[in-house]
Every structure is written in structure tokens, then in C-alpha cells.
Amino acid sequence: MNFRIFLSTIALTLMLFTVAAFAADSSSAQSSTPQATTANGYQPKWWKEGIVYQVYPRSFKDSNGDGIGDLKGITSKLDYIQGIGVNVIWLSPHYDSPNADNGYDIRDYRKVMAEFGTMADFDELLKGVKQRHMRLILDLVVNHSSDEHAWFAESRKSKDNPYRDYYIWRPAKDGHEPNNWVSFFSGPAWKLDPATNEYYLHLFAEKQPDLNWDNRRVRAEVYDLMKFWLDKGVDGFRMDVIPFISKREGLPDLPPDYRMRPHYFYAMGPHLHEYLQEMNREVLSKYDLMTVGEAFGVTLDQTPTLVDERRNELNMIFNFDVVRLNRDGRQWRDSTLPEMKAIYTTQNKALDVHSWNTIFLSNHDNPRVVSTFGDDSPAFRVPSAKLLATMLLTLKGTPFIYQGDELGMTNYPFTRIEQFDDIEVKNGWKADVLTGKVKAGDYIANLRKTSRDHSRTPMQWDSSPQAGFSTAAQPWLAVNPNYKDINASQELGDPNSIYSYFSKMSRFREKTPALVYGDYEDLDPENAKIFAYTRTLGKDKYLVVLNFSKDAVAYNLPGGLKAGALQISNLATGEEETPVLNLKGWEARVYKQ
């Protein structure tokens, strides 16, 4: 070795030594021990272990008798929410809004909707959540704003207004809309604005103009408003239709095969990843957050590109394959259990240790879970709601419970168009029924299965008038007539209620790492009645057996597998372990093997 090489080797060794010492120092400054991964390689995170409860404020609890749920109402029910065993609350939009789409059309992102209360009420709510060691995530609706937002009021004034480029304006093309895009709420996605004689884009209602994310000033505004709420101490965001924020270059026409499923064309635009990474750099990475994107129009193979932790975009997304299993476009269809199982298997294969899933069966845009995936007839409503709770809380992914599902609330028996509030329903009526394209009877029959309003009827608190939701003679949307039989006050006092079962299941999940992080395996994919799967973490293995039918089934576990020790069941059987499991209709069991 010549002398120069010898010297530089010493220098290099010294340098490496210093770097290593520095690295050790800085990591110990952050946390005393680096967090160990689970036996199967996951980084533990609070948002992977959490159970989320979605509150739709308008329908939750009315504190002042105006017929509309409000923030004080939610604060008064925090113990009830905690009693379900959840530890994160997702609040649907609570911002100032003219309510063309119940708050998903925001007029002022920094103001509380007057109907819901004041900023002081919001601060009280957040304080109450924190006192109970729970967390609060907000709805971030930034693909579009309200047309009553100050930005849009400016933008529409003139072509050279400084806010013009906050939205997406185009001149007419051959006397028509700039392209053939359709709105999710019927009709074209463009509206001609007389002030400048140009069209603006609205993928949803006319009162929901799409923001122009290609404008860096728009992005900066969004990051600022996010920080406004995060600095108050909220713990993250559910991001409304976030895959739509980047529009396709040149706004090309919808190809014919996308007309019935335009969301797959609008989603995943060319700059989506760039904008999410920027948002992550500018905002998300500075806080300890939960982020979940409403990934309407995202396919499973695209999912890892949004949630792989090494890419620094989102923590999780909602994939709609299961909740939309019963739809062909907007029409109801009967799905099968093997179809549902196939989706979960594909999801689990698509996501590796760097990604994380969500599990949800309903929300404010879907019908009630027990009426859709269970059986809401008197004989089976309770066991089937508990079976669905068992599934929700033992599949792999962060579970989201929609308000009222913990009580087994059911679909509303709609018979007339006047009973609906939803803009999607009203616009569809005008576009399809009043034009004679669809018969009124067929339209209502379909809505009885699919309408978003099923989930939006008021929470059923007790058997007093208006189910204890409000002292008003008429709440904004009618209470389900079954509230005398299905309500919280009855369920809270009953150890065998659906509410009590949720509570028990949630706590069981919380103390069982295998149910959070364990590998998932479907044991019997083709079985049309039984859903049987295992969750395995190191030496811990749990078996879940669900009878998705009202029939009794004598079930032989595949491959001579033994069930193990019964941990939880929705029907108290206490049966001894045998090679055959004698399952009653809608029975659910969890075993430790």
C-alpha cells in the first residue's frame, strides 16, 4: 500500500466513524429505541392499530332543536362513541357550506358551518376527543369547492381576474361543452357561465366547481388550510375524491367504454403523485397523522403507488370494490360471497409490508350495511349485524365503522321521491324519470337498495319522538320508523346487543396483534355460504368462521384443520371442538388455534 492510499484510508475510516456516531446520536434524540417491526415485517403505527368511527354531523345529534345535527350534539355523545371501542373519529365536513351536497361543497374552509355551531364548539369537541385519548380526523374536500367560495366568486368575474386560474375554464367547442365529460350527479360536467361566456368544469354538482390543481397558488392555499386545522391539533384527514385532483392533459373526451364508469377515467391524472408528494413534503410529513384517500376510480394494481410508505404519499385509501359489489353502474345487483372473498384476497396480494389497507362496508354514500350484506329481517338482523362486525374487525386493514351500524340501523322504507334529500337522487329524477327514460317505479325500487339517504337518516338514540335525535317536529331527513325497536338506549343496557358486541370485538382486536398485523389467508374461496380465514402473526394464529346465510350449516374445516379454542361468537353456543362445526344461520366464531 503506498503512503497516499494509506492516508486516505485513515481519513475515510475516521469520516465513517464520525458519520456513524452522529447517526447513532440523532436517532437516540428522536426515540430511545428504534421501533421493532412485527414478526412479519410491519412497522407498527397507531393508525394501523386504530378503529375509526365516521360521524355524519347533520344526522348525529341535534343539540338545539332546529332539526339538524351539530357539533355540540357530537360532544355530548363522546362517551357513547368511546364505548364502541373505537379510538379515532372521522368527521364528515363541518365547514361553512350552502349544502348543495351536505357540506361536500365548501364555501369557507376555515369556518364552521353555522348550522353545526361555532369554532368554539369545534374546539370543545376536539378537547373532548383528546381528553378521552381518542383522535379526530377531518374531511378534506379539495377537488372542488362551493361556487359560493370567495375564490370562485372572483374567478367567474372576468377572464383576467387573478383567481381565474383557480378553477378550470374553457371556451365552447363548436357551440357545445368543451368535451363530453359527465357529472356524477347527472348531465354534463360543464356549466356555461354568462359573465364570461365560458364553461367551468364540475365533476359533481354545478355548485361544486373543480379546483385547478395545476395552479401552484391553489396548492399553496390547500396546504395552508390543512395546516390551519392541523395546528389546532387534529390528527389527519380523509381526503375526498383525491385521485381526481390532477386532470388529464388536454381534457380528452371520455371514451365510450368509460361512460358508465367515468371515475376510472377521471382518476390518477398525470400529476397526482407529484401533488401528493408535494403535499406530503409541505404538510403531512411535519405532523404525526392518519391520512386516508377516498380512492374512487382507483384500481387495485394502482393502489400501492398511492400508499407504499417509501413513496411518501398517503397512509391508506378506500378501495370501493367491496361496497360497490352490489352495483352495475348505479343499478342494484345481487352479489355472491365468493366474489367478495376474491376481492379481499386480491387486495391482500396487491399490498405488501410497505402498504396498508382499510376495511369498510358502508359510509354516508352507501346503503346500510346490515340491509346490504346481512339480513335485516327481524329474525336475522341482530346476528347478521354482529357477523358483519366480526368480519370488519378481523380482516386485515384499519376498520371504519359508519355511525348507526353499531346499532344495526337498517335501510329506510322509501316509497316516494319527496322522501329523498340527496342531490344525486333529485338530479337523476329530473334527468332520467321526468324525461321518460326510466319508469318512476323502477327508479324508486333501485333506490330502495342503493340510495345514499339510507345512511343519512338520523341516529336512533331512544324511543322518544324523532328517536331522541332532535326536539324539532321534523328533522331535516325523516327518522326510520323502526326507531322504537332499534335505538341506542335499548342497546346500551343489553349485554347481548349489537352495540355491546361491537364493544367486545373492538377490545378483542385491540389486544390481539395477530388481528391487526397478522397475515391473511382465505381457507375456502369457493364456498358460497361460509367465509373462513386465518390471521397469523408469528406463533399466533386466529381462525374466523362466518356463516353468510340464514341456513344452519354443518361445516368441515378444509384440510382437516382443527378449530381451536373459541374466543368469541355472536350466538352463544359454547360448543366443544369437533371436526364438524355446527353453525347456525348468520353465526360468526373466532378461534385461537
Mind telling me the catalytic residues? 240, 294
Question: Per-residue contact track with ligand ISL, 447 to 476, x per CB under 6 A?
Answer: -----x------------------------
Using CB under 5 A as the binding rule, whether residue 64 contacts Ca ion is answered as yes
Select the span of 61-69, 229-237, 363-371, 405-413 touching Ca ion (CB under 5 A).
61-69
Rounded Cα distance, 10 and 16, in Å? 10
DSSP string, 571-593: S---PPP-SEEEEPTT-EEEEE-
CA distance readout (Å), 513 to 394, 460, 569, 589: 11, 33, 19, 18
Q: 424 is in the binding site of which of ligand ISL, Ca ion, none (Cβ under 5 to 8 A by kind)?
A: ligand ISL
Q: 375 is in the binding site of which of Ca ion, ligand ISL, none (Cβ under 5 to 8 A by kind)?
A: none
Q: 241 is in the binding site of which of ligand ISL, Ca ion, none (Cβ under 5 to 8 A by kind)?
A: ligand ISL
Using CB under 5 A as the binding rule, whether residue 66 contacts Ca ion is answered as yes
CA distance readout (Å), 277 to 137, 290, 310: 20, 15, 11
Residues 350-379 that bind ligand ISL (CB under 6 A): 364-365
Rounded Cα distance, 555 and 557, in Å? 6
Q: 184 is in the binding site of which of Ca ion, ligand ISL, none (Cβ under 5 to 8 A by kind)?
A: ligand ISL
The footprint of Ca ion on this chain (CB under 5 A) covers a number of residues equal to: 5
Using CB under 6 A as the binding rule, whether residue 204 contacts ligand ISL is answered as yes
Rounded Cα distance, 99 and 105, in Å? 6
Contacting Ca ion (CB under 5 A), which of 52, 54, 62, 144?
62
Find where cell 388529464 sits. 248
Least CB distance to Ca ion at residue 483 (A) = 18
Least CB distance to Ca ion at residue 94 (A) = 12
Torsion angle of alpha carbons 60, 95, 477, 129, nearest 10°? 0
Closer residue to Ca ion in complex, CB, 397/458: 458
Rounded Cα distance, 223 and 481, in Å? 44
Q: 214 is in the binding site of which of ligand ISL, Ca ion, none (Cβ under 5 to 8 A by kind)?
A: none
Least CB distance to Ca ion at residue 126 (A) = 19
Rounded Cα distance, 337 and 335, in Å? 7
Least CB distance to Ca ion at residue 116 (A) = 7
Rounded Cα distance, 293 and 142, in Å? 12
**Strand bridging mode 519-522 / 398-402:** unpaired
Residues 121-160 that bind ligand ISL (CB under 6 A): 141
Given its phi and psi angles, is residue 408 left (phi above 0), alpha (psi -120 to 50 degrees) or beta? left
Residues near Ca ion (CB under 5 A) are 62, 64, 66, 68, 70
Contact footprint for ligand ISL (CB under 6 A): 101, 104, 141, 184, 204, 240-241, 294, 296, 364-365, 424, 452
